C-alpha cells in the first residue's frame, strides 16, 4: 500500500555496491527530486558492481558514477542519520547496524528482504538474471511503498 513520499530516505545494505545503489538509483529515476535519497553500506570494501550497473542501465538508471560509502564514512563526513526521515535496510546486517546507529533518534526503519545476487549463477546470462531479479524486487517494493513513478 503506497504511503506518502518522505522528505529524505537512506537505503542501506552490506557493501553499498549492489542493492542499495540500485534502490537509490530507482528512487531518483521514479520520483526525481521530490525526495532526498542516499545509500550506504555496513562496510565499504567494494566498488559499484558491474552487473548492477548493467541491469539498472536497462531501465535508464545510471549507476556507473556511484561511489560506495559506509555508515562510518557518512558519520566522518558529517552526515547525520537522524536527518533522514526513513532508513530502508536491504540486508539483515544493514538493518542491525541501522538500528544500532539510530537507537537515540526517532526514526523510521524498514527492512526489505531483497535477494543478494552476488555469487549466484555460473554464466554471464545466469548472473544477469539474478541481478535483474534483485532489481525487480527493489523496484516492486519501491512502487508498492511510494506509489507509481512520477518522473518518466
What pLDDT was estimated at residue 12?
A: 93
Superfamily (CATH) of domain 8-146: Response regulator (3.40.50.2300)
SS3 30: helix
SS3 89: strand
Domain ranges in the chain are: 8-146
What pLDDT was estimated at residue 106?
A: 72
- The secondary structure of 118-152 as a DSSP string is TT--SSHHHHHHHHHHHHHHHHHHHHHHH-S-S--
pLDDT: which is higher, 1 or 88: 88
Answer yes or no: are the C-beta atoms of 90 and 69 closer than 8 Å. Answer: no
What pLDDT was estimated at residue 151?
A: 67
What pLDDT was estimated at residue 73?
A: 83
What pLDDT was estimated at residue 98?
A: 83
Q: What is the rounded average pLDDT for all residues in the chain?
A: 89
Asked whether the predicted pLDDT for residue 1 surpasses 70, the reply is no
pTM for this predicted structure: 0.90
Amino acid at each position: 500500500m503506497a504511503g506518502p513520499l518522505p522528505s529524505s530516505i537512506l537505503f542501506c545494505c552490506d557493501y553499498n555496491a549492489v542493492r542499495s545503489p540500485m534502490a537509490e538509483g530507482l528512487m531518483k529515476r521514479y520520483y526525481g527530486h521530490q525526495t532526498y535519497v542516499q545509500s550506504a553500506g555496513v562496510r565499504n570494501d567494494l566498488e559499484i558492481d558491474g552487473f548492477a550497473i548493467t541491469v539498472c542501465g536497462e531501465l535508464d538508471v545510471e549507476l556507473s558514477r556511484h561511489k560506495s560509502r559506509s555508515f562510518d564514512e557518512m558519520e566522518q563526513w558529517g552526515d547525520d542519520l537522524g536527518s533522514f526521515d526513513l532508513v530502508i535496510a536491504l540486508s539483515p546486517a544493514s538493518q542491525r547496524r541501522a538500528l544500532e546507529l539510530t537507537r537515540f533518534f526517532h526514526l523510521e526503519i524498514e527492512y526489505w528482504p531483497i535477494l543478494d545476487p552476488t555469487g549466484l549463477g555460473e554464466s554471464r546470462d545466469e548472473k544477469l538474471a539474478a541481478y535483474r531479479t534483485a532489481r525487480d524486487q527493489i523496484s516492486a517494493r519501491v512502487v508498492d511503498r511510494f506509489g507509481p513513478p512520477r518522473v518518466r
